[in-house]
């Protein structure tokens, strides 16, 4: 049997082709993809490449998806054929030194699942057991697909220890910045400030309830954030872009004793400068956060299902799999699109 799939061959080389539907072995599950959502990481990989540890080319592209179980491998009591599910995009081994320390996101033997932009996706056995969930009837497939980025955000926000009453500044109003906004508001941030250079994104942030939106092209970001925080800076600053310049800018927006979460992944080989006084006299905590854990995937889907975190406003367009290249063109040029749902 053949299926349509978007194959990634290299930088800026994505092709929709007819490929074999994967065969299912014991413990594996074949899912008919019903919706896959685009991600900033996908756009980065397409435009500049990525580390081979995470993605080996050529491969079917895409990692945020949900669908309906089409085939269940031998030996599995769960899931059932026809069940609505989401899974992936990672499954830790639970045995390595990192897993044994509870750092499942840093697993030394992580398996990564690509292949969302296709009619079918095969879920490996380990992923079926540690990172696959049933999607409740009232949750759309495209909402369920957003479980992955939300899981990453939940992990980051937990690491940064955002608390009730905090002032939180978010650098970047793309999909990840906006998911951080929705999350810290639910945690009980007293004041939220978001920074971007795109007016349309700042407007969407306002619709989603941000207290202050700063246009970095028009305003002095450091002065504005200081002004909005009694001169001190924010309790927590979250960088959600992934550029050394904005990583450094984030350090200038935090109060003494505050926390900076450098969330966005920068291009390989890049470095930033940190003023030692900031860490010593300022007691600022600077954190990185990478990916997420199965527990956070579970929490993320539950929060989406209860609409505690309503991800629906982030899906701004729907397109067919055949038009995937056009979808990424739109994402790289349009100012108002956040996530596009691809319907294979
Ligand atoms: Zn993603
Ligand atoms: Zn491991």
216-251, pLDDT tens digit by residue? 999 999 999 999 999 999 999 999 999 999 999 999
Q: How far is the CA of 105 from the centre of ligand 2 (A)?
A: 8
DSSP state letters, 249-299:
HHHTSEEEEEEEEE-SPPPTT------HHHHHTS--EEEE--S--HHHHHH
Considering only CA atoms, which of 242, 203, 196 is closest in space to residue 219?
196
Give the mean pLDDT of 128-155.
Answer: 98
Q: Is 337 helix (H, G, I), strand (E, B) or coil?
A: coil
Mean pLDDT (the chain, rounded)? 97
Neighbours of ion ligand 2 (CB under 5 A): 92-93, 96, 99, 107
Q: How far is the CA of 152 from the centre of ligand 2 (A)?
A: 17
Q: Are strands 167-171 and 191-196 parallel, antiparallel or unpaired?
A: parallel
Amino acid 49: pLDDT: 82
**Whether pLDDT at 126 is above 80:** yes
Ligand nearest to the CA of 297: 1
Amino acid 335: pLDDT: 81
Q: Is 139 helix (H, G, I), strand (E, B) or coil?
A: coil
Give the mean pLDDT of 99-109.
Answer: 98
Q: CA-based angle 278:282:283, to the nearest 5? A: 100
Give percent of the chain with pLDDT exceeding 90. Answer: 95
Q: How far is the CA of 37 from the centre of ligand 1 (A)?
A: 8
Ligand nearest to the CA of 103: 2
243-272 per-position pLDDT tens digit:
999 999 999 999 999 999 999 999 889 999
Amino acid 336: pLDDT: 87
Amino acid 48: pLDDT: 86
Q: In the chain, count H helices and then E strands.
A: 12, 18
Q: How far is the CA of 62 from the centre of ligand 1 (A)?
A: 8
**Whether pLDDT at 51 is above 80:** no
Q: How far is the CA of 189 from the centre of ligand 2 (A)?
A: 33
Q: How far is the CA of 148 from the centre of ligand 1 (A)?
A: 6
Q: How far is the CA of 152 from the centre of ligand 1 (A)?
A: 8
Longest CA–CA separation in the chain, Å: 65
**Whether pLDDT at 50 is above 90:** no
């Amino acid at each position: 049997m053949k299926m349509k799939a978007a194959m990634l061959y290299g930088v800026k080389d994505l092709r929709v082709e007819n490929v074999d539907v994967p065969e299912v072995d014991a413990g594996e599950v074949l899912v008919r993809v019903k919706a896959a959502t685009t991600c900033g990481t996908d756009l980065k990989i397409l435009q500049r490449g990525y580390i081979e540890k995470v993605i080996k080319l050529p491969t079917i592209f895409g990692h945020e998806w949900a669908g309906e179980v089409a085939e269940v491998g031998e030996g599995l009591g769960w899931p059932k054929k026809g069940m609505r599910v989401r899974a992936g995009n990672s499954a830790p081994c639970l045995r390595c030194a990192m897993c044994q320390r509870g750092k499942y996101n840093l697993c030394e033997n992580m398996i990564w699942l690509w292949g969302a932009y296709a009619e079918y996706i095969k879920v490996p056995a380990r992923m079926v057991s540690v990172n696959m969930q049933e999607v409740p009837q009232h949750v759309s497939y495209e909402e369920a697909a957003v479980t992955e980025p939300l899981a990453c955000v939940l992990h980051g926000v937990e690491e940064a220890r955002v608390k009730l009453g905090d002032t939180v500044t978010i650098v970047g109003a793309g999909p990840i910045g906006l998911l951080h906004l929705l999350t810290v508001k639910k945690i009980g941030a007293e004041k939220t400030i978001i920074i971007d250079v795109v007016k349309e994104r700042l407007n969407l942030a306002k619709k989603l309830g941000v207290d202050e939106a700063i246009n970095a092209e028009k305003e002095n970001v450091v002065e504005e954030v200081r002004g909005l925080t009694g001169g001190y800076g924010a309790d927590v600053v979250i960088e959600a872009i992934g550029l050394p310049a904005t990583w450094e800018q984030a350090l200038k927006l935090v109060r003494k004793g505050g926390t900076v979460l450098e969330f966005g992944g920068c291009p390989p080989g890049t470095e930033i400068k940190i003023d030692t006084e900031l860490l010593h006299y300022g007691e600022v905590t600077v954190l990185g956060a990478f990916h997420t854990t199965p527990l956070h995937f579970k929490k993320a889907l539950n929060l989406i299902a209860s609409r505690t975190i309503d991800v629906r406003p982030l899906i701004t367009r729907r397109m067919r799999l055949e038009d995937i290249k056009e979808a990424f063109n739109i994402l790289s040029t349009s100012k108002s699109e956040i996530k596009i749902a691809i319907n294979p």
